[in-house]
């Protein structure tokens, strides 16, 4: 089974390839890559945004290996399948990897073992090959890029627009990623430094920059004062920042089960979006108020960071129930308290197959019924 694939992992694969191709005379290495990538771009006439494995294998310039192979962990873009290959660039072999789902391809990695002459060399080569490039992810403040990484929106005659990422790999080598389905979300390290609104990069962006920042701020805002009711009117729920709610709340007949059975008869669904994550959020309650809030499948969040931020705001968080042990995930329940606030129950589930983190805040402070395999938390806390 293939390992978790990043450009750094692809760099290790390059070390196993042999230099057997004849040099490409009079053409820059990045222009050679650009002419290969044209063959992966989708036709402008189609309305879909992903390729397929047959289309990928039809690109005969690449010597494809076996695959697609299921990865033991997804790529940073969330792909679970990969097809490796080799491609001649100048006098060396470059590693090419197509990534995607079981039936579709969403992006392509290429690692040229030769380093670029400068961070802008890739853009020069792509323009020479007939592409039009525009910055797609820029430093906040409008200053210089802090490292060799660049993101571009690219267009080519007769093809659907796509995105290109370039970087110099530590230890040498030029890395390229072609995204045919859209620019991926940022990491939590990048979000405070970059923006996808390059036209307004000189001004500080509004709103939360990371999922960690958004979820910790929302939990803080949802915690009720000691003198307030242990619920929140639906009108106030709809005003929560960084959440786009759909119509509702709707009456439901099937109890919601994430974080323990939730028999609340009304639910309101929406989406929480920051530069680092776009995921489901949900509130449940009665016809007039909400008591439980779900932030589900958040990407790029380190499991301890939300708790660390909340503790920095004066909250005390202690485990009260340990979930059933699983191979690829853990789930635990905690009490969350602060001076002048009502106590509440905070559930956290961590998926190691991603990774992704989910939270449920029960501001009514009611624990769900205990189930087989769960147990009260010992003084040392819960694993995971």
Task: Give, rounded to a whole angstrom, the gap between the first and last alpha carbons of the chain.
Answer: 26
Handedness of CA 248, 249, 253, 257 (dihedral sign): positive
Give the chain's mean pLDDT.
89
pLDDT greater than 80 at residue 245: yes
pLDDT greater than 70 at residue 9: no
pLDDT greater than 50 at residue 344: yes
Residue for token pair 């189930």: 371
Domain limits, the chain: 7-200, 211-376
Q: Which alpha helices (H) appear in the chain, and where do they start and end?
A: 7-14, 29-38, 53-57, 121-128, 211-222, 234-237, 305-312
pLDDT greater than 60 at residue 10: no
pLDDT of residue 27: 63
Residue with more model confidence, 74 or 135: 135
pLDDT confidence bin for 246, thresholds 50/70/90 = very high
pLDDT of residue 13: 42
pTM for this predicted structure: 0.83
Q: Report the b/e string of 92-108 with b at 16+ CB within 10 A.
A: bbbbbbbbbeeebbbbb
pLDDT of residue 255: 67
| Percentage of residues of the chain with pLDDT beyond 90 | 70
SS3 200: helix
Cis peptide before 355 (omega within 30 of 0): yes
Measured CA to CA in angstroms, residue 34 lies from 17, 39, 42 at distances of: 21, 9, 14
Q: Angle at CA 282, nearest 5°, toward 351 and 365?
A: 85
Q: Are 82 and 74 in contact (CB under 8 A)?
A: no
CA–CA separation, 314 and 337 (whole Å) = 9
How many CB atoms lie under 10 A from the CB of residue 354?
16
pLDDT of residue 354: 62
pLDDT greater than 90 at residue 170: no
pLDDT greater than 70 at residue 21: no
pLDDT greater than 90 at residue 300: no
pLDDT of residue 271: 95
**What would the pLDDT profile of 325-335 be if each residue is shown by its tens digit?**
776 788 999 99
pLDDT of residue 328: 73
CA–CA separation, 320 and 382 (whole Å) = 8
pLDDT of residue 2: 35
pLDDT confidence bin for 6, thresholds 50/70/90 = low
pLDDT greater than 90 at residue 117: no
**What would the pLDDT profile of 28-39 be if each residue is shown by its tens digit?**
899 999 999 999
SS3 37: helix
* Residue of 65, 144, 149, 55 lying closest to 103 (CA atoms): 55
pLDDT greater than 80 at residue 20: no
């Amino acid at each position: 089974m293939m390992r978790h694939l990043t450009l750094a992992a692809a760099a290790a694969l390059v070390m196993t390839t042999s230099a057997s191709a004849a040099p490409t005379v009079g053409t820059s290495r990045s222009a050679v890559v650009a002419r290969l990538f044209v063959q992966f771009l989708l036709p402008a006439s189609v309305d879909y945004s992903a390729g397929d494995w047959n289309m990928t294998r039809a690109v005969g310039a690449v010597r494809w290996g076996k695959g697609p192979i299921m990865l033991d962990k997804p790529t940073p873009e969330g792909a679970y399948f990969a097809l490796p290959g080799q491609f001649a660039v100048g006098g060396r072999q470059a590693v090419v990897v197509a990534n995607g789902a079981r039936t579709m391809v969403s992006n392509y990695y290429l690692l040229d073992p030769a380093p670029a002459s400068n961070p802008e060399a890739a853009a020069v080569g792509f323009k020479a090959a007939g592409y039009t490039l525009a910055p797609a992810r820029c430093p906040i403040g409008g200053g210089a890029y802090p490292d060799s990484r660049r993101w571009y929106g690219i267009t080519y005659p007769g093809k659907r627009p796509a995105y290109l990422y370039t970087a110099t790999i530590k230890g040498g080598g030029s890395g390229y990623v072609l995204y045919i389905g859209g620019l991926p979300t940022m990491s939590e390290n990048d979000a405070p430094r970059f923006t996808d609104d390059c036209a307004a990069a000189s001004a500080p962006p509004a709103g939360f920059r990371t999922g960690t920042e958004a979820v910790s701020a929302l939990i803080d805002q949802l915690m009720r004062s000691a003198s307030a009711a242990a619920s929140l009117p639906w009108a106030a729920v709809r005003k929560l920042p960084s959440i786009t709610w759909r119509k509702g709340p709707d009456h439901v007949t099937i109890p919601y089960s994430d974080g323990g059975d939730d028999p609340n008869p009304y639910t309101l669904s929406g989406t929480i979006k920051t530069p680092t994550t776009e995921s489901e959020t949900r509130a449940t309650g009665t016809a007039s108020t909400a008591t439980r809030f779900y932030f589900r499948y958040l990407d790029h969040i380190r499991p301890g960071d939300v708790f660390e931020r909340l503790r920095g705001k004066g909250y005390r968080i202690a485990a009260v129930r340990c979930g059933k042990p699983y191979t690829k995930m853990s789930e635990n329940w905690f009490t969350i308290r602060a001076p002048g606030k009502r106590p509440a129950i905070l559930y956290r589930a961590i998926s190691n197959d991603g990774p992704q983190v989910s939270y449920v805040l029960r501001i009514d402070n009611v624990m769900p019924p205990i189930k087989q395999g769960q147990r009260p938390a010992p003084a040392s806390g819960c694993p995971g």
